[in-house]
Amino acid sequence: MRKTPLYQSHVALGAKMVPFAGFEMPVQYTGVVREHVAVRRQAGLFDVSHMGEIMVSGPKAVDLIQYVFSNDIKRLDIGQAQYGYMPNAKGGIIDDLLVYRIDTQNYLLVVNAANVEKDWNWLVTHNKVFGASLQNQSDQWSLLALQGPQATSLLSKLTKTDIGSIPFYRFDHGKVAGVDQVLISATGYTGSGGYELYVQNKGVEKIWNSLIENGAEPCGLAARNTLRIEMGYCLYGNDIDDTTSPLSAGLSWCTSFSKDFVSKNQLELEKVTGIHKKRVGFVLNERGIPRQGYALVDESGNDIGIVTSGTQSPSLEKGIGMGYVLGEQAIVGNTIYVNIRTKQIPATITSFPFYRAM
């Protein structure tokens, strides 16, 4: 298993380490609920340095990314980020990712750790036509996610950059805790606001320690998972994968049909013929925790889908989950049932997100 540059810091803080996407990662420190609540109410700090970073550069960078990426990067200003996915040749999803427009001809692609090699190979294959410059910089970068309503006030103590003026999904470069050239991005995957900090490996420990000394709660993957589920965000390998239709997954909003891209024709046809299954969120009406792989059934016990992500929501204090159900069942307010051990627990389909900040 690989280790991030902060591995020893996690061990020193008493983190429980687990294998994840080929890395030894902290799953929790003081407890999932405490860490979850810290992000919702104060500020939590995650080490997500396992994520991959691929730089696409040169005069052909836009052409390559436009073809392999679902969203339209021509809409991006310098200093802006965009979410989307890379569709495969069969209309499935190779990966979901962020694209950062660094300057006129340089774009940073931030991809999931387990998919770095697959994504790289996909880009290299299609780049034979376009001829952009590609660099896999994943081993050079560390990534911290400082999330929560107090993230701005906390981070402001460590930088002269006016981070409070950085709009959502935009970024700036600055010095943080004395470390130069940190990419400070107003992004995150928790729904509580905050920043993601891209920093060269040699400087990450100094920033990590400074943020904790100023009040950030160290948080592990378990809290990151409960936070993203409360927002209805997809996790690659659970809610989306190579066989998933992005339209079924609810990713039409980041699919730009005004340009040409891989599998565009197939997805356009799917729009016309209709979606067989749809990703929905649901809240359990009785006690229970839905887990990945549990069957979803109708009132007669007929299979209508499967749970892809589920948890006991610390914010709602209820069992919540996501899954794919047959199109006719995918109606907000509809009652479905989750097979939990020997019981069928009733649940109500709801809209995303489950959690909304007051």
CATH of residue 98's domain is: 3.30.70.1400
Q: Which of 92, 113, 136 is the last residue of a domain?
A: 136
Q: Which of 136, 151, 185 is the last residue of a domain?
A: 136
Shared domain for 38 and 166, answered yes or no, is yes
Shared domain for 132 and 156, answered yes or no, is no
CB-based contact 20:221 (threshold 8 Å): yes
Q: What is the SS3 assignment for 197? A: strand
The reply to whether 44 falls in a domain is yes
Shared domain for 57 and 195, answered yes or no, is no
Q: What pLDDT, on the 0 to 100 scale, is given for residue 297?
A: 96
Percent of the chain residues topping a pLDDT of 90: 98
Shared domain for 36 and 145, answered yes or no, is yes
Shared domain for 127 and 144, answered yes or no, is no
Shared domain for 183 and 297, answered yes or no, is no
Cα(10)–Cα(216) distance, integer angstroms: 14
What is the pairing mode between strands 2-3 and 23-28? Answer: parallel
**Count of the separate structural domains present in the chain:** 3
The CATH number for 345's domain is 2.40.30.110
Shared domain for 148 and 227, answered yes or no, is yes
Q: Which of 211, 231, 251 is the last residue of a domain?
A: 231
Q: What pLDDT, on the 0 to 100 scale, is given for residue 358?
A: 46
The reply to whether 339 falls in a domain is yes
Shared domain for 100 and 56, answered yes or no, is yes
Shared domain for 164 and 298, answered yes or no, is no
The stretches in the chain having pLDDT less than 70 are 357-358
Whole-model pTM: value is 0.96
Q: What pLDDT, on the 0 to 100 scale, is given for residue 37?
A: 98
Domain hosting residue 125, numbered range:
52-136
Q: Which residues contact 162 (CB under 8 A, 6 or more apart)?
A: none
DSSP of 322-346: EEEEEGGG--TT-EEEEEETTEEEE
Question: What's the pLDDT tens digit per position in 198-234?
Answer: 999 999 999 999 999 999 999 999 999 999 999 999 9
Q: What pLDDT, on the 0 to 100 scale, is given for residue 317?
A: 96
The CATH number for 173's domain is 3.30.1360.120
Shared domain for 289 and 346, answered yes or no, is yes
Q: What pLDDT, on the 0 to 100 scale, is given for residue 314?
A: 97
Shared domain for 177 and 123, answered yes or no, is no
| C-alpha separations of 21 from 25, 49, 157, 221, 333 in Å | 9, 11, 33, 12, 36
Shared domain for 314 and 292, answered yes or no, is yes
Q: What pLDDT, on the 0 to 100 scale, is given for residue 320?
A: 98
| Number of neighbouring beta carbons within 10 Å of residue 115 | 23
The reply to whether 281 falls in a domain is yes
Cα(311)–Cα(290) distance, integer angstroms: 6
